[in-house]
C-alpha cells in the first residue's frame, strides 16, 4: 500500500473539515434524509455519511476498497449504534453483490475518483433493483464557467496524482444520464470552503 494512500486516509477528515462546515454536512443530511430499504454506499472513505442515515433503513453496506480508509471506516462503524451496518472492500468497477440486491446506492465524492465512471455506473445499475435509486453528491466539470474548465483540465494530472485519482474535469451528470438513469432531482451547486477547481457540484437522486 502506498505512502500516499496512508496519508490520504490519515488526513482526509481534517482536510474536509472546512467544507463540511460550510456546506457538505448539510448536503449529506438533505440527500440521505428519506433514503430507505437495503442501501449500498460505494467509496465510503472514513464513513462521513454515517451520522446522516435514518434509523429506518433496513440494511447498510459501506464499501471501501482502500485498506487504510477502511480501517478508519470500521472504527466509525463500531462507534455507531444500531448494528445494521457492515463494511466491505468492493471496488465500484467490480461490485461483489448479486444483480438487483439494493433499493438505493449512495455515491458522495467517489465518481470523480474511479478509473471509469461508465463501468462503475453500469455496476451500480446492475446491483440496484428495478426502480432503485442512486443518491449522489459529486464535484464536476464547470459547465457554467467555461474559463474554469481549461484550468480543471490543465491541473487534472497533478491533482489525480496528489489526491487519490480524483479527476477535476469529469462530466458526471452526462455519465449518469448515459448509463440510462433518469434524474428525479438534480441540483447544481457550488461548494464553499473548497478550492474553485472542485467547487462546481451536482447533488441529487437518479432512478434506475
Which residues of the chain form contacts with ligand SAM (CB under 6 A)? Answer: 42-45, 48, 64-66, 69, 91-93, 108-110, 113-114, 164
Which CB sits closer to ligand SAM, 96 or 182?
Answer: 96
Q: Could you tell me the smallest distance in angstroms from the CB atom of residue 64 to ligand SAM?
A: 5
Closest CB to ligand SAM among residues 110, 148? 110
Query: Least distance in Å: CB of 94 to ligand SAM?
Result: 8
HSE-up (13 A, CA, CB side) for residue 189: 20
**76/208 with CB nearer ligand SAM:** 76
- Residue closer to ligand SAM (CB basis): 65 or 193: 65
As measured in angstroms, the least distance from the Cβ of 13 to ligand SAM is 8
- What region does 19 belong to: left with phi over 0, alpha with psi -120 to 50, or beta? alpha
CB 109 to ligand SAM: min, Å: 4
Residue 130: CB atoms within 10 Å? 7
**Which is nearest to 62 in space by CA: 99, 82, 88?**
88
Residue showing the smallest CB distance to ligand SAM in the complex: 45
When the beta carbons of 72 and 142 are compared against ligand SAM, the nearer one is 72
| 62: β partners | 41, 87
Copy the grid coordinates of residue 74. 470500521
Q: 38: which strand partners?
A: 59
Q: Which is nearer to ligand SAM, 50 or 130 (CB)?
A: 50
Report in angstroms how near the CB of residue 6 gets to ligand SAM at its nearest: 12
**Helices (DSSP H) in the chain: which residue ranges?**
3-19, 25-32, 67-78, 117-127, 146-162, 172-178
User: Closest by alpha carbon to 110, among 99, 100, 96, 95?
Assistant: 95
Q: How far is the CB of 179 from ligand SAM (least distance, A)?
A: 15
Q: Coil, strand or helix: which one is 91? A: strand
Among the listed residues 88, 184, 199, the one whose alpha carbon sits nearest the alpha carbon of residue 132: 184
Amino acid at each position: 500500500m502506498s505512502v500516499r494512500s496512508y496519508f490520504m486516509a490519515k488526513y482526509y477528515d481534517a482536510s474536509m473539515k472546512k467544507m463540511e462546515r460550510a456546506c457538505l454536512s448539510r448536503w449529506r443530511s438533505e440527500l440521505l434524509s428519506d433514503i430507505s430499504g437495503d442501501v449500498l454506499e460505494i467509496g465510503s472513505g472514513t464513513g462521513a455519511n454515517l451520522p446522516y442515515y435514518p434509523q429506518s433503513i433496513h440494511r447498510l453496506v459501506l464499501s471501501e476498497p482502500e485498506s487504510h480508509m477502511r480501517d478508519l471506516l470500521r472504527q466509525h462503524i463500531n462507534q455507531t449504534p444500531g448494528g445494521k451496518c457492515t463494511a466491505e472492500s468492493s471496488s465500484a468497477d467490480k461490485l461483489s453483490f448479486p444483480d438487483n440486491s439494493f433499493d438505493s446506492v449512495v455515491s458522495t465524492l467517489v465518481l470523480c475518483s474511479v478509473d471509469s465512471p461508465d463501468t462503475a455506473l453500469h455496476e451500480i445499475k446492475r446491483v440496484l433493483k428495478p426502480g432503485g435509486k442512486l443518491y449522489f453528491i459529486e464535484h464536476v466539470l464547470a459547465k457554467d464557467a467555461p474559463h474554469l474548465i481549461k484550468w480543471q483540465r490543465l491541473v487534472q494530472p497533478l491533482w489525480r496524482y496528489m489526491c487519490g485519482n480524483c479527476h477535476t474535469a469529469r462530466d458526471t451528470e452526462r455519465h449518469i444520464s448515459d448509463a440510462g438513469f433518469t434524474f428525479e432531482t438534480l441540483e447544481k451547486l457550488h461548494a464553499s470552503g473548497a478550492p474553485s477547481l472542485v467547487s462546481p457540484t451536482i447533488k441529487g437522486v437518479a432512478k434506475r
